[in-house]
Structure 1
Amino acid sequence: MTDEAPLTHTLGYALKGIIEAYRFSNDRFFLDAAVSLADGLAGCIREDGYLAGRLQRDWSPAVDWACVTGSSQIAWSLMFLGHNADRARYRGLARKLNQFVRRTIPTQGDANVVGGVRGSFPINGGYFPFGFPNWAAKFTLDANQFELESEHTSASPGQSGPEHFATESLR
């Protein structure tokens, strides 16, 4: 990666790609690589679920806004790893990210934006400023659906096969 402070959206894509490599190969190398990246990200998530939209090489925040899209992508991946890599702490962090994102969704006001997922929070942040990208909504729905489904399953970290959560709705 040549970006000195990559977007969490970019890191979210990278993490999901590594997870998908694991899901389809069942090669532990990929699961370990995903955990390595997730460990770095996990240390950046504040108690309130805020994750800076860009991170430095040392995992410190590079900006003072959240990339809501990246937060949702990372929430999905942390939920997956929480179940498949024996990392219960990740599930809690995924819930915090999801809760933060849900708090940023407008619930009143202009009907054109109510229920929309912002690119950044605050809205004038550096990722898709003043915008509500459709992919942000997609990643947010995926992460929240995974959270809900994981609460209603008998899954445990010991059920770690890539097919365990491989329903079409979760991909």
Structure 2
Amino acid sequence: MTALGPGGAFATTARHLRDFIQFRVYRPAHLRIGLQDFFDLRAPAGAVQSNSIHLQRAMDWLCRAQDATSDGGVAARYRLSKGWAASYPETTGYIIPTFFDYADLTQDENYRQRALRMADWLLTVQLAGGAFPAHDISTPREPRVFNTSQALFGLLRAFRETGNATYLNAAGRAGDWLVSVQNETGTWSRFEYYQRPHAYHSEVAWPLLQLFRMTQKPVYRDAAVKNLDWILSLQQPNGWFDQCGFKEDQAPYLHTIAYTINGLLESGALLQPDQPLNNEYVQAARLASEALLHRFEIRHFMAGQFDRNWKATVNYSCLAGNMQTSINWLRLYEVTGDIRFLNGALKLNDFVKSTQDLHSNHPGIRGGIKGSHPLWGRYIRYSYPNWAVKFFVDALMLEDKLVAELYRQEGVA
């Protein structure tokens, strides 16, 4: 027996039956989501709510994810099988700026205080050498390059907001560790996923450049540029970046493709703020983004994994990657004025809004964003990862800002 799902037919195999039991899809709140995804009963395009409603539900979810732990960090995800996970240093690090931004937007001090609690928690889990641990804190505390770099976002923003040098000192220790374990080629492979370099380490270079701006220590800038130049050498004429996935033998997730693009885009904008379009890193990010936009315009659907010819290899959507891609397109619209990027981002945002359950009585589901749509897709299956929600919030806030600016330019009230 088959039923239609996004991108094609979904067969009820023994694996799906095992999943039904293993991930406790039989529970009422879980079953509701499972059936919605099975029959693709998303909200129609015209039925999604205003961004403010979707934003508030998402922020409520992130607050519950923080409250689900007792330490001030943010739970890595809500899992249908096991409930809330432990706090996750990497994503707590980059959720901090989101909370500060939402506090500014709403003028609600509660979000600012929550951000500071997250930053204070990060100080307690920093390892002796300056690194931050991989995975959530329920696992052994092993240093990890990428995770350390993402903690920098939170520490640097906390310093900017408070002037408390404790945060900057911790960021400096993290930056020093990143520089110390970098290879001569500009890559990072030690203390990294599968002990191999990744193109998405452009997201390591970007916070190092932020740290350079804060401290004026050239060692951080030099390490970042060395890595970015290596990543440029991986780009193919069609915009694709080799080594942009977790594994060599697996089609990369949109999540890591979007990381690669984002790190290049933001690094280039930092290095040449007055003329970002002339920056080679921004140009590389634009080339890859145009390839993704072209695929999206053809299919009207964003797949969760691609091969090096930009051909979709799966029929599910990676929702975190969708939101990261939306942010990249919005930023490219901001930099280039190319309206195609804005239009694509608005469509991606509406798609993900249509998958967000605003009314579930389950606190782990209501307002959250799934890893995959449908939820049995390969990326973070049967779970609601906190980073998908964070990128969702960032994308909607940026959309609102840019659309408001566009209306002002056109004289629309």
**TM-score exceeds 0.5:** yes
CA deviation after TM superposition for structure 1 residue 50, in Å: 2.5
- Size of the aligned set, in residue pairs, is 156
Relative distance call for 1:16 and 1:129 in structure 2 (3 A) is: same
Do 1:83 and 1:155's aligned partners in 2 also have CA atoms closer than 8 Å? no
1:136 aligns with 2:388: yes
Q: In the TM superposition, what whole-angstrom CA distance separates every residue of 1:3-54 from its partner, at most 9, and x where no partner exists?
A: 5511000011111101111121015211111111101111121578531000
1:109 aligns with 2:350: no
What runs of 5+ residues in structure 1 fail to find an aligned partner?
157-171
* 1:61 aligned partner: 312
**What RMSD in Å do the two structures reach over aligned CA positions?**
2.0
CA deviation after TM superposition for structure 1 residue 86, in Å: 3.2
Whole-Å Cα distance in 2 between the matches of residues 68 and 61 of structure 1?
Answer: 15
5 Å matches for 1:14-25? 14-25=260-271
Relative distance call for 1:139 and 1:49 in structure 2 (3 A) is: farther
SS at match of 2:368: coil
Do 2:268 and 2:279's aligned partners in 1 also have CA atoms closer than 8 Å? yes
5 Å matches for 1:61-140? 61-112=312-363, 113-140=365-392
1:118 maps to amino acid: K
SS at match of 1:44: helix
Q: In the TM superposition, what whole-angstrom CA distance separates every residue of 1:43-90 from its partner, at most 9, and x where no partner exists?
A: 121578531000111111110100000000000010110121232101
Higher helix share goes to which structure?
2
Relative distance call for 1:48 and 1:59 in structure 2 (3 A) is: closer
More displaced 10-residue stretch of structure 1: 136-145 or 39-48: 39-48
CA deviation after TM superposition for structure 1 residue 154, in Å: 5.3
Q: In the TM superposition, what whole-angstrom CA distance separates every residue of 1:81-123 from its partner, at most 9, and x where no partner exists?
A: 0121232101100111111110111123342201110000001
SS at match of 2:383: coil
What runs of 5+ residues in structure 2 fail to find an aligned partner?
1-242, 273-277, 409-413
Q: TM-score, normalised by structure 2?
A: 0.36
Do 2:370 and 2:388's aligned partners in 1 also have CA atoms closer than 8 Å? yes
**2:303 aligns with one of 46, 52, 55:** 52
* 1:42 aligned partner: 293
Whole-Å Cα distance in 1 between the matches of residues 390 and 355 of structure 2?
Answer: 15
* 1:145 aligned partner: 397
Do 2:305 and 2:312's aligned partners in 1 also have CA atoms closer than 8 Å? yes
Relative distance call for 1:48 and 1:64 in structure 2 (3 A) is: closer
Larger RCO (CA within 8 A; separation ≥ 6): 1
Q: TM-score, normalised by structure 1?
A: 0.84
